[in-house]
A = this chain, B = another copy of it.
Amino acid sequence: MQIDLANLEDFIRGSAFLGTGGGGDPYVGMLMLKQVLNDGMQVTLIDPADFDDEKTAINILTMGAPTVINEKIPSGPANVRALRAAEKELGYAVDAIMPVEAGGINASIPLVVGALTGLPVIDADGMGRAFPELQMTTYNVAGLSSNPNVMADDKDSVALITTVKNIDAERFCRDICVRMGGIGQMACYPLTGKQIKDHAVLNTITLAVEIGQSIRIAREDHDDVVSALLRFLESEHVGRVAKVLFDGKVTDLLRETKGGFSIGRVILDSLAGDGAQLEVVFQNEYLTALKDSTPVAMVPDLICIVDRETSEPITTENLKYGQRVKVVGVSVPEIMRSPQALATFGPAGFGLDVDYRPIELLGA
């Protein structure tokens, strides 16, 4: 699998779906990627299975509230500065880079940086979706350090944070991000090939392209697009549980930018005329879905809101009154459901007072 102008839109749509409402508007990522590809630069993807155990890679991302990222576009060159500062601190040049999350704009940013630097990009990530905080990774769950955490802005400021606990790095970096204007370009979580194979969520760039393909082909074939997408996700190739949690209309929306996050909730009224309501709570990403106050899906399982006709993913900052949507729930791989994983990015990781139950055991 390679990313080029031919499959770029599939990739962007798929990563928007995996973004579960967060990770920034993928349209911005598409524009950035289109520019480097149109300029003749190339992105080289590597399957993690082909990446030597001793080689090294570092994670590349943009930190910031999606609301801000749409106005203050991420800077590829600032990301390269963060990468170089991390290499200086590490004392070696990395062999590759990779996305820390599979969803939203942070799926695209490492590809842009790969094109700018010529470094290959590993087809794997540390979240299998998008999460709002830096410590919410399978690497953190495995006890790996995010040090050095480097953040750069477009005014040539660079911050290098070293902490004992990854959650402290998140807190320092979030403050710096706010000071940088609500967005910062980061490099963190240096990993060996062995660590990636053992602890990353594998082949998620490929998965994003395939999700986008499945939506595009269903549209071309005039199929029911959401049903086609669910069939693909439940296929043996992907192996997820996927279902429509709700079919409704946006009737209420609360969204604020607070402490560097987009925080809020959206209320949907059922289109079936049965008076049912769905409430979806978000912190950058959709965290929990409650149907008439009963949970029907919760993190880390994916909650995705899509246009009910075209299955176009809708991010939290693009939610609008009156939209007719389907809310889709998708199970995550087992590596993301261990007790340690759930403590890190399950409901408890978000301070939510609810015990995790997998989506396949919940009604909808």
A81 (CB) vs chain B CBs: closest residue: B162
Point out the residue from B85, B156, B159, B168 that lies within 8 Å of A172, measured CB to CB: B159
A176 (CB) vs chain B CBs: closest residue: B172
Binary contact readout A152-182 vs B (1 if CB under 8 angstroms, 0 otherwise):
0001111111111000100110011011000
Looking at the assembled complex, report how far the CB atom of A162 sits from the nearest CB atom of chain B, in whole angstroms.
4
**By the criterion CB–CB under 8 Å, are A168 and B162 in contact?**
no
Q: Please, how many residues of chain A have a CB less than 8 angstroms from a CB on the other chain? A: 18
**By the criterion CB–CB under 8 Å, are A172 and B161 in contact?**
no
**By the criterion CB–CB under 8 Å, are B164 and A155 in contact?**
yes
Point out the residue from B157, B162, B163, B175 that lies within 8 Å of A175, measured CB to CB: B175
**By the criterion CB–CB under 8 Å, are A159 and B158 in contact?**
no
**By the criterion CB–CB under 8 Å, are B157 and A159 in contact?**
no
**By the criterion CB–CB under 8 Å, are A159 and B161 in contact?**
yes
Looking at the assembled complex, report how far the CB atom of A321 sits from the nearest CB atom of chain B, in whole angstroms.
36
Q: How many copies does the complex hold?
A: 2
Chain B residues with Cβ under 8 A from A178's Cβ?
Answer: 175
Q: How far is the CA of A163 from the CA of B160 in the complex (A)?
A: 12
**By the criterion CB–CB under 8 Å, are B160 and A172 in contact?**
no
A164 (CB) vs chain B CBs: closest residue: B156
Looking at the assembled complex, report how far the CB atom of A341 sits from the nearest CB atom of chain B, in whole angstroms.
25
Looking at the assembled complex, report how far the CB atom of A310 sits from the nearest CB atom of chain B, in whole angstroms.
43
**By the criterion CB–CB under 8 Å, are A157 and B172 in contact?**
yes
Chain B residues with Cβ under 8 A from A179's Cβ?
Answer: 171-172, 175
**By the criterion CB–CB under 8 Å, are A158 and B162 in contact?**
yes
Point out the residue from B157, B161, B168, B171 that lies within 8 Å of A164, measured CB to CB: B157
Chain B residues with Cβ under 8 A from A160's Cβ?
Answer: 159-162
Q: How far is the CA of A156 from the CA of B163 in the complex (A)?
A: 6
A169 (CB) vs chain B CBs: closest residue: B157
Looking at the assembled complex, report how far the CB atom of A274 sits from the nearest CB atom of chain B, in whole angstroms.
48
**By the criterion CB–CB under 8 Å, are A159 and B156 in contact?**
no
Q: How far is the CA of A176 from the CA of B162 in the complex (A)?
A: 12
Chain B residues with Cβ under 8 A from A158's Cβ?
Answer: 161-163
Q: How far is the CA of A128 from the CA of B302 in the complex (A)?
A: 59
B-facing residues in A120-160 (Cβ within 8 Å): 155-160
A174 (CB) vs chain B CBs: closest residue: B179
Chain B residues with Cβ under 8 A from A157's Cβ?
Answer: 161-164, 168, 172
Q: How far is the CA of A156 from the CA of B156 in the complex (A)?
A: 26
Chain B residues with Cβ under 8 A from A85's Cβ?
Answer: 162
Q: How far is the CA of A156 from the CA of B175 in the complex (A)?
A: 18
Q: How far is the CA of A333 from the CA of B80 in the complex (A)?
A: 45
**Known A157-B168, A159-B162, A160-B161; further 13 A-B contacts with Cβ < 8 A:** A85-B162, A155-B168, A157-B162, A157-B163, A157-B164, A157-B172, A159-B159, A159-B160, A171-B179, A172-B179, A175-B178, A175-B179, A176-B176
Which 10 A-B residue pairs are closest in the complex by CB-CB distance?
A160-B160, A158-B162, A157-B163, A175-B175, A156-B164, A175-B179, A159-B161, A172-B179, A157-B168, A171-B179
